[in-house]
A and B are shown apart, each in its own frame.
Chain A
Amino acid sequence: MIPLRITAATPAVAPFVARLNAEGRAFELERTSGRTPFDLDLEIVGEGRSVYRSSSAELELRGIDAGEVDGDVVFIDPSRGIAHRLVRARSAHNTFLITERCDQLCVMCSQPPKRGHVDMFPYFEAAALLAPANMVLGISGGEPTLFKDQLLPFLDRVLTHRRDLSFHILTNAQHFEPTDLPSLARLPHDRVTWGVPLYSSDLVIHDSIVGKDGAFQKLTGGLAILAKSGATLELRTVLMSRNAADLPDLARFVTSQVPFSSSWAIMQLENIGFGRLNWNELFFDHSVQFEPVANAIDLARSRGLNVWLYNFPRCTVPEGYRHLAPATISDWKRRYPAACEECSVRDGCSGLFEWHTDDRGFQRFGTL
Chain B
Amino acid sequence: MNVWPLRFRKSGTEYLFSDDAGGFFRADQAFLERYVADGLLLSDYDFLRHGGHTFAEVGDLAHTAFAYRWSQRQAVRPELAYLILVPTLRCNLSCGYCQVSRAAEHAKGYDWTEETTEAVLRYLDQLGTSDIKIEFQGGEPLLRIDLLERVRSFCRERFASSKFVVCTNLQEMSPREWAFLEAGDTFVSTSLDGDMATHSRQRTHSAQATSKFLSNLDEAIERLGPHKVSALPTIDIDNPPDFEALINAYRSRGMRSLYLRPVNHQGFARRGRSVDADIERWNALHHAFVEHLIDLNYRIGAGLEEYYFSQCLRRALRSGADEHVDLRNPNFFASDYLVVDHDGKFYPTDEARMLSRIGRIDLSIGDVFSGLQTEKTDTLNAASLNNYDPDCVHCTFQPFCGSDLIDDISRYGRSDRAKTKTWFCRRHTSIFDHVFELMYRDDPATKHSLAQWSGVVSWGRHMAPELA
Taking Cβ atoms with an 8 Å cutoff, the residues of A that contact B are 201, 220-221, 223-224, 227-228, 248-249, 252-253, 255-260, 294-295, 297-299, 301-304, 318, 320-321
Residue of A220, A253, A298 near B457 (CB, 8 A) is A298
Name B72's closest neighbour in chain A (CB-CB): A259
CB of B242 to closest CB in A, whole Å = 33
Contact B68 A301 (CB under 8 A): no
Query: When the two chains form their complex, are residues B64 and A224 in contact, meaning their CB atoms are under 8 A apart?
Result: yes
**Do A295 and B455 contact each other (CB < 8 Å), given the known contacts A259-B72, A260-B68?**
no
Please, which residues of chain B bring their CB within 8 A of the CB of A303? 317-318
Q: B61 contacts A223, CB within 8 Å?
A: yes
* Chain A residue contacts of B52, Cβ below 8 A: 255-257
Q: Which residues between 414 and 468 of chain B lie within 8 Å of chain A, taking CB atoms?
A: 451, 454-460, 462-463, 465
Q: Which of B205-228 contact A (CB under 8 A)?
A: none
Q: A257-B61, A298-B451 are in contact. List 18 more A-B contacts (CB 8 A).
A: A220-B61, A221-B61, A223-B61, A224-B64, A228-B64, A255-B52, A256-B51, A259-B69, A259-B72, A297-B456, A299-B463, A301-B455, A301-B456, A302-B454, A302-B455, A302-B459, A302-B463, A304-B320
Known: A259-B72, A304-B320. A249 touches B64 (CB 8 A): no
Docked-complex contact B60 and A220, CB < 8 angstroms? yes
Chain A min CB distance to B240 (Å): 32
Q: Are A298 and B458 in contact (CB under 8 A)?
A: yes
* Chain B interfacial residues counted at CB < 8 A: 29
Q: Are B462 and A299 in contact (CB under 8 A)?
A: yes
Cα(A227)–Cα(B72), bound, Å: 13
| B138 is an interface residue with CB less than 8 A from chain A | no
Residue numbers in B under 8 Å from A259 (CB-CB) = 65, 68-69, 72
Residue of B nearest to A220 (CB): B61
> Does B359 reach chain A (CB closer than 8 Å)?
no
CB distance from B17 to the nearest CB of A (A): 14
B319 CB within 8 Å of chain A: yes
Answer whether A304 and B456 are a contact pair too, CB < 8 Å, given A259-B68, A259-B69: no
A224 touches B61 (CB 8 A): yes
The answer to whether B141 has its CB under 8 Å from any CB of chain A is no
**Cα distance A255–B318 when bound, in Å?**
10
Interface residues of B (CB under 8 A from A): 23, 50-52, 59-65, 68-69, 72, 317-320, 451, 454-460, 462-463, 465
Contact between B317 and A304 (Cβ–Cβ < 8 Å)? yes
Interchain CB contact under 8 A, A252 and B465:
yes
By the criterion CB–CB under 8 Å, are B68 and A294 in contact? no
Q: Which residues of A contact B23 (CB under 8 A)?
A: 256
Of the candidates A227, A301, A304, the one whose C-beta lies within 8 Å of that of B319 is A304
Residue in A201, A249, A258, A294 whose beta carbon sits within 8 Å of that of B65 in the complex: A258
Select one of B51, B65, B317, B320 contacting A227, CB under 8 A. Answer: B65
Question: Smallest distance from the beta carbon of A245 to chain B beta carbons, Å?
Answer: 12
Cβ A298 vs Cβ B456 within 8 A: yes
* Contact, CB under 8 Å: A256 / B65: yes
Instruction: Tell me how far the C-beta of A228 lies from the nearest C-beta in chain B, rounded to whole angstroms.
Output: 6
Residues in A with CB closer than 8 Å to B62 are: 257
Quick check: B318 and A258 within 8 Å, CB to CB?
Answer: no
For residue B321, which residue of chain A has the nearest CB?
A304
**Inter-subunit contact A248/B462 (CB<8 Å):** yes
Within the complex, what minimum Cβ distance (angstroms) separates B71 from chain A? 10
Tell me if A249 and B50 are in contact (CB < 8 A): yes
Q: Least Cβ distance of B343 to chain A in Å?
A: 42
Residues of A within 8 A of B69 (CB): 256, 259
Listed by A's residue number, 28 A-B pairs whose Cβ atoms lie within 8 Å are A220-B60, A220-B61, A224-B59, A224-B64, A227-B61, A227-B64, A228-B59, A249-B50, A252-B50, A252-B51, A253-B50, A257-B65, A259-B69, A260-B68, A298-B457, A298-B458, A298-B459, A298-B463, A299-B463, A301-B455, A301-B456, A302-B317, A302-B318, A302-B454, A302-B459, A304-B318, A304-B319, A321-B457
Of A256, A258, A297, A318, chain B has the most CB atoms within 10 Å of the CB of: A256
Contacts of B460 in A (CB 8 A): 295, 298
Residues on B with C-beta less than 8 A from A227 are: 61, 64-65, 68
CB <8 Å contact, B458 and A320 = yes
Question: Once the chains are docked, how many angstroms separate the CA of A306 from the CA of B317?
Answer: 14
A272 to chain B: closest CB distance in Å? 32
Bound Cα distance from A239 to B321, whole angstroms? 31
Q: How far is the CB of B185 from chain A (nearest CB, A)?
A: 28
Which residues on A sit within 8 Å (CB–CB) of B51? 252, 256
Distance (whole angstroms) from the CB of B6 to the closest CB of chain A:
14
B285 to chain A, nearest CB (A): 27
Residues of chain A lying within 8 A (CB to CB) of residue B320 = 304
Q: Measured between C-beta atoms, what is the minimum distance from A331 to chain B in Å?
A: 30
Nearest A-chain residue to B465, judged by Cβ: A252
- A201, A223, A224, A249: which has the most chain B beta carbons within 10 Å? A224
Query: How distant is A130 from chain B, measured CB to nearest CB, in Å?
Result: 34
A258, B457: Cβ atoms closer than 8 Å: no
Contact A258 B61 (CB under 8 A): yes
Complex alpha-carbon distance, A208 and B223, angstroms: 62
Q: Give chain A residues whose Cβ lies under 8 Å from the Cβ of B72.
A: 259
- In the complex, chain A residues whose CB is within 8 Å of the CB of B455: 301-302
**B375 to A: closest C-beta gap in Å:** 35
Chain A residues contacting B454 (CB-CB under 8 Å) are: 302
Q: Which 9 A-B pairs have the closest CB atoms?
A: A256-B52, A304-B318, A320-B457, A220-B61, A298-B456, A224-B61, A224-B64, A257-B65, A302-B454
Tell me the minimal C-beta distance from B433 to chain A in angstroms.
19
CA A122 to CA B319, docked complex, whole Å: 44
| Residue on A nearest B69 in the bound complex, by CB | A259
Which residue of chain B has its CB nearest to the CB of A257? B65
Kindly list chain A residues whose C-beta atoms are within 8 Å of the C-beta of B61: 220-221, 223-224, 227, 257-258
Q: Kindly state the separation between the CA atoms of A303 and B68 in the bound complex, as whole angstroms.
A: 14
Report B-chain residues with C-beta under 8 Å of the C-beta of A248: 462
Contact status of A302 and B456, CB under 8 A, knowing A223-B61, A258-B61: yes
Q: CA A253 – CA B458 in complex, angstroms?
A: 20
CA distance A321 to B50 in the complex (A): 26
| Chain B residues in 8 Å Cβ range of A318 | 457
Q: Specify which chain B residues have a CB less than 8 angstroms from the CB of A220 in the assembled complex.
A: 60-61
Report the bound CA distance from A253 to B69 in whole Å.
13
In this complex, what residue of B is CB-closest to A296? B462
Nearest-neighbor residue (CB-CB) of A303 within chain B: B318
Q: Kindly state the separation between the CA atoms of A256 and B64 in the bound complex, as whole angstroms.
A: 10
* B130 vs chain A, min Cβ distance (A): 18
Contact A201–B60 (Cβ < 8 Å): no
CA distance A301 to B457 in the complex (A): 10
Known A-B contacts A201-B50, A224-B59, A303-B317; the reply to A294 vs B463 at CB < 8 A is no
Asked if residues B319 and A256 are in contact (CB atoms below 8 Å), the reply is no
Shortest distance from the beta carbon of B23 to any chain A beta carbon, whole Å = 6
Nearest CB in chain A to that of B65: its residue: A257
Chain A nearest CB from B393 CB (Å) reads 22
Question: How long is the Cα–Cα vector from A299 to B459 in the complex, in angstroms?
Answer: 8
- Chain A minimum-CB-distance residue to B458: A298
Q: Which residues of B contact A260 (CB under 8 A)?
A: 65, 68
In the bound complex, CA of A294 to CA of B51 (Å): 20
Question: With A and B bound together, what is the CA distance between A257 and B51 in angstroms?
Answer: 8
Residue on B nearest A324 in the bound complex, by CB: B457
A-side contacts of B68, CB under 8 Å: 227, 259-260
Distance A3 CA – B444 CA, assembled complex (angstroms): 53
Q: Give complex CA distance A255, B317 in Å.
A: 11
Closest A residue by C-beta to B56:
A220
Q: Which single member of A224, A256, A258, A298 contacts B50 (CB below 8 Å)? A: A256
